[in-house]
Structure 1
Amino acid sequence: MIRKQLRESFFLGVFALVTVCLLSPSASAIKISDNFSVDGFLDMSAGVTIGEDEDGDSELDAFAGYDQLELALKFSFDKLSGRADIDGNDSIGLEQAYITYAFSDMVSINAGRFLCSLGFEAAEPTDMFQYSYSTGIPYPGYQNGVSLSISPSDMIGLYASVVTGVWDGGGDTDLNHPGFEAQIALMPIEGLTAKIGFAGDIMEEVHAEEEGDHDHDHHDEEEETYLKSEINAWVMYSMDNITVAAEFDLLPNYYAHDTTGIHFLAMANIGVTDEIGVTVRFSGAQDNLDDDDEELRTSFTISPSYAFNDNLGSLIELKQILGDEGETQIAFETIMTF
């Protein structure tokens, strides 16, 4: 018997495919009315990880499947707009939903569940240059809260938000210990974008406090709060058919209290033709810089891609985890957008 969630996902996928084929096979969005439009994508992939087992013999771990269907429902009423993203594979869920009110061309406010501001690499596969994420990617995800965006000019943008939790994936609704983000974006010349931002979450750590006398001991729990944080900076430059970017994250108390980690990447994308592109990336991370026994984790990625048309594209990725116990990851991905 097919589960209810699977039936819902199947019928939603059929609806999306039929709508795309009948209404707008080559457009980037389906316009339902002047105030309502729908777009989205279908994402499928297959691949294999080549590594070694405990005995040193080669070990293969292969996969193939439909990864994600996403529908973005977009509403617009003059200064007020809204968006709700529905996605899933074997079940359907609400990824994000928020409303935006534009006080002017320079100032707007968001409320609801929305994506964080930090990070160079995109959250959706349609906006990524390759299949996988960089090694040790630390970005926050979706969050519940309120954000403010200010753009004094075309060369500068300011962002700030207060959320229930920075790294909770949008599932936390408790505002007793709010998190926050702030970011500044600079676009000084054509093709150049630089952003630096900060995110912080108030965390609780429970300690056992021991009290004793001559007869017996008592153990009381004492809560200590600390700030889990991320300082993110990245720069990207695009010229003609070439895009290069670099990113660095400093991660105080990110993996544990009183530890500092890092994450970094450098990448380049070259458009060989209008249809063919190649991406190369080097990335790495370390959880605790003060731990002499911990090694820096790094990887190298190369990913050629091909665009069949405006709505269909594919890529192949080869990712090599560097180091003595490194493994090789190979993936093939196809995405249809509408």
Structure 2
Amino acid sequence: MNLRTKFTPIAATLLLSLGMTTAAQAEISAKNLSVSGFIDMSYLSIDVDGLGSSHDSGIDQVELNFGYDFGNKLTATVDVEYQNNAEGVDVEQAFISYAISDNLSIKAGRFLSYSGWEAEEPTGLFQYSGTGYAQYFYGYYQQGISALYSGDKFAVAVSVVNDLAGPQSTDSEHPGIETMVAFMPTESLTFKGFYSVDGDTKMLNTWASYSADSLTLAAEYNSSEDTAFAGSEADGYLLMANYAFSSFGLTLRYHDYQVEDAAGVSFEDASGFTISPSFSVNDNLLMVFEYRMDEVNGVDVDYLAVEALITF
């Protein structure tokens, strides 16, 4: 899942272009270039019943997001990241987008799958951790082309990619297809469904959310075939509630999933309950605390985490 391309040659070219000395070029860059990002650091304690505990701390991830508006409805996006558990700096996303109309747009390059309730980045999560089942039910970073049509109360998208979860894949002989249908009957309610196919691999991801004032509720159901290995079947779900009041927030989540082999024997059976309070120190610094109790293949695992997330 976490295959990435080394960034070094592209970084040199990008930094060179940003460092142009001509005044006119610098003015154009400043006008059309946007830069954002985050720094994510944490302390994590994991206690496995009967096997002891481990403790880790440090920088988890640093990301810079560059956007450039060429005008004439054409934009480019490049996301550069550093992860402490990987070597070097990587290009996470790199794609161009063209707005055919106010409702229809097309993008091409490397981009993140639309699927899944839980975001890939920490800035999109309501708590510190993801469930851990995304590898079986969500698409990942992909190379290909995608079209999105958005209306006032509905949206549809189709992506044709080299691999549903292969950001380095260049083989387009047998592409994967990801489809999305979304309904937004009111400002508070959202329903989304995704069906993805890549050879024998099939994934169904559905979720619904309700968000009004300080309350957010979400439910997700997933099923898949051949995502763990040939002949495997998986299903899983989550329930989540978040309430934000002033600078404080509280998230409760329950998740459950199971992966079986071709004979119906359980390969991975896991469930967990998460409680995660958070505190917004200011507009740029969010502190997230998490206690999580999992049962994985009959073994109890407890997690305790403290996260500092700086956005800019």
TM-score (norm 1): 0.79
- Write the mapping of 1:149-228 to structure 2, written as runs, cut at 5 A: 149-151=148-150, 153-168=151-166, 170-202=167-199, 227-228=200-201
Aligned pair partner of 1:304 in 266, 269, 277: 277
Cα separation, 1, equivalents of 2:294 and 2:304: 11
Residues 1:108 and 1:50: Cα distance change in structure 2 (over 3 Å) = same
Residues 1:292 and 1:174: Cα distance change in structure 2 (over 3 Å) = closer
Q: Tell me, what secondary structure is at the counterpart of 1:34?
A: helix
Unaligned runs of 5+ in 1: 1-7, 16-30, 203-226
Q: Does the aligned pair in 1 maintain the 2:234–2:259 contact within 8 Å? A: yes
- Write the mapping of 1:1-338 to structure 2, written as runs, cut at 5 A: 33-52=30-49, 56=50, 59-76=52-69, 77-89=71-83, 91-137=88-134, 138=136, 139-151=138-150, 153-168=151-166, 170-202=167-199, 227-271=200-244, 273-288=245-260, 291=264, 296-322=269-295, 324-338=298-312
Q: Does the aligned pair in 2 maintain the 1:305–1:314 contact within 8 Å? A: yes
Residues 1:60 and 1:295: Cα distance change in structure 2 (over 3 Å) = closer
Q: CA RMSD in A?
A: 2.0
Alignment coverage as a number of residue pairs: 280
Q: Does the aligned pair in 1 maintain the 2:45–2:304 contact within 8 Å? A: yes
Cα distance, 1:258 vs structure 2: 3.2
Q: Does the aligned pair in 2 maintain the 1:135–1:297 contact within 8 Å? A: no
Structure 1 moving runs of 4+ over 6 Å: none
Cα separation, 2, equivalents of 1:144 and 1:253: 21
Percent of aligned pairs with the same amino acid: 35
Q: Does the aligned pair in 2 maintain the 1:135–1:285 contact within 8 Å? A: no
Q: Does the aligned pair in 2 maintain the 1:135–1:284 contact within 8 Å? A: no
Cα separation, 2, equivalents of 1:66 and 1:197: 33
Cα separation, 2, equivalents of 1:230 and 1:162: 15
Cα separation, 1, equivalents of 2:213 and 2:82: 36
Residues 1:315 and 1:174: Cα distance change in structure 2 (over 3 Å) = same
Which amino acid in the other structure matches residue 86 of structure 1?
A: V
Cα distance, 1:78 vs structure 2: 3.7
Residues 1:292 and 1:178: Cα distance change in structure 2 (over 3 Å) = closer
Cα separation, 2, equivalents of 1:162 and 1:67: 31
Cα distance, 1:252 vs structure 2: 2.1
Cα separation, 2, equivalents of 1:166 and 1:114: 11
Which amino acid in the other structure matches residue 166 of structure 1?
A: L
Which amino acid in the other structure matches residue 304 of structure 2?
A: I
Cα distance, 1:321 vs structure 2: 0.7
**Which protein shows a greater Rg?**
1
Residues 1:94 and 1:295: Cα distance change in structure 2 (over 3 Å) = closer
CA deviation digits over 1:185-239, x for unaligned, max 9?
A: 110111111100111112xxxxxxxxxxxxxxxxxxxxxxxx1010110000001
Cα distance, 1:33 vs structure 2: 2.4
